[in-house]
Structure 1
Amino acid sequence: MPKVLLTGGSGFIATHILQLLLNRGHEVVTTVRTEEKAKIIRDAYPDAKLTVVLVPDIAQPNAFDEVVQIPGIEYVQHTASPFHFKWKDAKTEVLDPAIKGTTSILEAIKKYAPSVKRVIVTSSFAAILNAAELENASITWSEANWNPNTYEDGLTGPPGVTYRVSKTLAEKAAWDFKEKEKPNFDVVTINPPFVFGPVVHHLSSLGDINTSNGNLVALIVGRWKEGIPPTGVHLFVDVRDVAKAHVEAMERPEAGGNRYLVTAGLFANKEFVPIVRKHFPQLADKLPDDSVQGGDYPGGSINNIYKYDNSKATKDLGLEFISLEQSVKDTITSLLAVGAK
């Protein structure tokens, strides 16, 4: 089986990609920022064909030069990119790591790794959406759409804008590199929205949870009892489907050169409550009762929200999406295992 380089191997999505790659028999080289994270991954897969390499700062020039020179790498899964809203400086903590991290690895592959056939980049629905149109029920989002925000918007805007810019410009950097540099490899990008699903990586506390699953943590620890927060982006996908999309995009020759909106469909935050009540009766006292407002679709109807077209991912990558109920159930089961009460 081909050897795969997976960047950012301790991340929420990456841990599922790693698990799937190893299950399918691939040899994997993965990068992490610290030796602590490296040890966790090595301990989790003691008998696997797995090499863990430290890349402390992906925004540094030549950050990936050494790791791509490991002999025999045929595919690269590039997932490493910051996704949190806790930064102090947008340029150095979010924008540069996302954009330079992408260009750095592509440059390194072209220069040092002629055996690489394809690079799969984890992008986001954030690189597709236009926030000004999120209340427009006549819109159908697909791979054809691009976020219009600029680098300057990312420097000066609120955290959500900065994140969207980081994902948009990182993805555009990948496509621009392919067009201008004409490397031997092709490029695929995977664009998921809210990503729910079980946690498989080591989690020291619920404070370390990925941003999307943080909504479910808030629910099950009682922070939604007085009001359910707005949903924001009303599209979701389970992390296991995102991982499968990455691996199928690698293994299917016809996927090369494509961008994929990977989503299971629409949801609203209020829909979590009956799912949790049904499957986790022990959490009943943490949940908002039926009189609590918020977290609904605009005007209280799914017909008032935009549409989406995920047919390209379904057709090309063979995805059959996990339902919201199954995703929420499996997510909370994993959260309870790491200490949610």
Structure 2
Amino acid sequence: MPVVPPGSKILVTGASGFIAVHVVHEALKAGFQVVGTVRSSDKGDYLTELFSKQYPGKFTYKIAEDLEAPGAFDDAVRGVQGVLHTASPFHFNAEGKALQALVNPAVNGTKSVLKSIKDHGTEVQRVVITSSFAAILDPARTPPVNYTEADWNESSPAESEKLGDKQASQPAYRASKTLAERAAWNFVEKEKPQWDLSTINPPLVLGPILHQVNAPEKLNTSVSSVWGALHGSKSEDDLPGALGCVVDVRDVAIAHVKALQVPEAGGERFAVTIGQFTQQGVVDVIHDASWIPEELKKQVPIGKKGNYNVTQNNLSGAKAEKVLGVKYHSFKSTIEDAL
């Protein structure tokens, strides 16, 4: 029997985010009633309208403006059987304020929601947290490294403790995801709540957009990189271009929903990925797509088609396939659907 069976009411925090909207969509498709927390009624109304025709009455929202505020999630966790905690900052605009802009919101937001669940979420059976490959990959290790869920990022949190607000944005983001996930596992170990925990650890997430975007400059960090490649932001010098590992946002969403249901997912981390990709791979997909106008392709570098031979780290997504039953989208469909 699923830990949290379809028909149950679940909570998705940060429901207006790029990944979170897909999580809400997959949860609704799976038969769940979904409560989402958002920072404003504008975002909540957008989501209500987005899902109202196909899933009438199945999505509602609550306002949680400040993720770090004590008790911010107290009301939202009441009466739900599962929690998918996706709310956490993902940007690199933190120069001179690494703790304030990235580390503290991620860590304190996670602690806040877990405390609310323990104190007020009396029906909750499982909590799933959106972590990241950033909590696995240790930049102090020289590539290529084949990473799995057994690995942890040790150097970025150590640097955060040493540098504080002076830590550069990218390592501060990595530290924030690592420290937030560590805080979650430590909370469960110390408090021994009635629910268990799973984490989803994706690398760069691409694919179609469902969340509210009013202009190209408002695109989320990951998708904006692919959109930019289509609109002249890359040159031949950027190829072949190691870009790390990648996964489709739809597969990340499915992994979250499956982790709520599969008994064996309790107490486990799940990396979700199809593995490495390169800038050459992105431009190859663009040039091969017959539906993309030639005038746009003229802005896109060509490089040497199929030249993906770069030195970079790898991450295995095999555990999520085996335990959660995730069937990954192809790289081609992921990139095309992000454009």
The answer to whether 1:323 aligns with 2:330 is yes
TM-score normalised over the length of structure 1? 0.90
Residue of structure 2 in register with 1:37 after alignment: 43
- Of 97, 112, 115 in structure 1, the residue corresponding to residue 123 of structure 2 is 115
- Of 86, 89, 95 in structure 1, the residue corresponding to residue 93 of structure 2 is 86
State the shift of 1:87 in Å: 3.3
Residue of structure 2 in register with 1:211 after alignment: 221
| Aligned partners of 1:154 and 1:163 also within 8 Å | no
| Aligned partners of 1:193 and 1:233 also within 8 Å | no
Residue of structure 1 in register with 2:112 after alignment: 104
Residue of structure 1 in register with 2:265 after alignment: 255
Which shows bigger deviation, 149-158 or 78-87? Answer: 149-158
- Of 40, 49, 52 in structure 1, the residue corresponding to residue 58 of structure 2 is 49
AA matched with 2:166:
T
Return closer, same or farther for 1:206/1:230 CA change in 2, 3 Å cut-off: farther
Task: Report the Cα distance in structure 2 between the residues aligned to 1:305 and 1:164, rounded to whole angstroms.
Answer: 17
The answer to whether 1:27 aligns with 2:33 is yes
Task: Report the Cα distance in structure 1 between the residues aligned to 2:318 and 2:185, rounded to whole angstroms.
Answer: 22
Segments of 5+ residues of structure 2 without an aligned counterpart are 1-6
TM-score normalised over the length of structure 2? 0.90
Deviation string, structure 1 residues 264-303 (Cα, Å, up to 9, x no partner): 11111111111101112432112113379xx976xxx25x
Task: Report the Cα distance in structure 2 between the residues aligned to 1:154 and 1:127, rounded to whole angstroms.
Answer: 18
The answer to whether 1:64 aligns with 2:73 is yes
Segments of 5+ residues of structure 1 without an aligned counterpart are 333-341
State the shift of 1:307 in Å: 3.7
Across the aligned residues of Structure 1 and Structure 2, the Cα RMSD in angstroms comes to 1.9
Residue of structure 1 in register with 2:203 after alignment: 193
| Aligned partners of 2:239 and 2:303 also within 8 Å | no
AA matched with 1:62:
G
Residue of structure 2 in register with 1:130 after alignment: 138
| Aligned partners of 1:154 and 1:166 also within 8 Å | no
| Aligned partners of 2:199 and 2:268 also within 8 Å | yes
Residue of structure 1 in register with 2:301 after alignment: 288
- Where in structure 2 are the equivalents of 1:306-317 lying within 5 Å? 306-317=313-324
AA matched with 2:37:
T
Task: Report the Cα distance in structure 1 between the residues aligned to 2:84 and 2:136, rounded to whole angstroms.
Answer: 20
Return closer, same or farther for 1:326/1:188 CA change in 2, 3 Å cut-off: same
State the shift of 1:173 in Å: 0.5
Percent identity, aligned pairs only, is 40
Residue of structure 2 in register with 1:338 after alignment: none
Structure 1 stretches of 4+ moved >4 Å: 229-233
Task: Report the Cα distance in structure 1 between the residues aligned to 2:181 and 2:241, rounded to whole angstroms.
Answer: 25
Task: Report the Cα distance in structure 1 between the residues aligned to 2:147 and 2:75, rounded to whole angstroms.
Answer: 39
Task: Report the Cα distance in structure 2 between the residues aligned to 1:154 and 1:330, rounded to whole angstroms.
Answer: 38
State the shift of 1:154 in Å: 5.4
Deviation string, structure 1 residues 193-214 (Cα, Å, up to 9, x no partner): 0101000112101111111112
State the shift of 1:37 in Å: 0.6
Deviation string, structure 1 residues 118-174 (Cα, Å, up to 9, x no partner): 0000000000001122x423x220001101122325533211100000000000000
Task: Report the Cα distance in structure 1 between the residues aligned to 2:15 and 2:114, rounded to whole angstroms.
Answer: 18
AA matched with 2:88:
S
Residue of structure 2 in register with 1:165 after alignment: 175
Task: Report the Cα distance in structure 2 between the residues aligned to 1:230 and 1:184, rounded to whole angstroms.
Answer: 49
Task: Report the Cα distance in structure 2 between the residues aligned to 1:195 and 1:231, rounded to whole angstroms.
Answer: 17
The answer to whether 1:264 aligns with 2:274 is yes
Name the count of aligned residue pairs.
322
Residue of structure 1 in register with 2:4 after alignment: none
Task: Report the Cα distance in structure 2 between the residues aligned to 1:234 and 1:142, rounded to whole angstroms.
Answer: 14
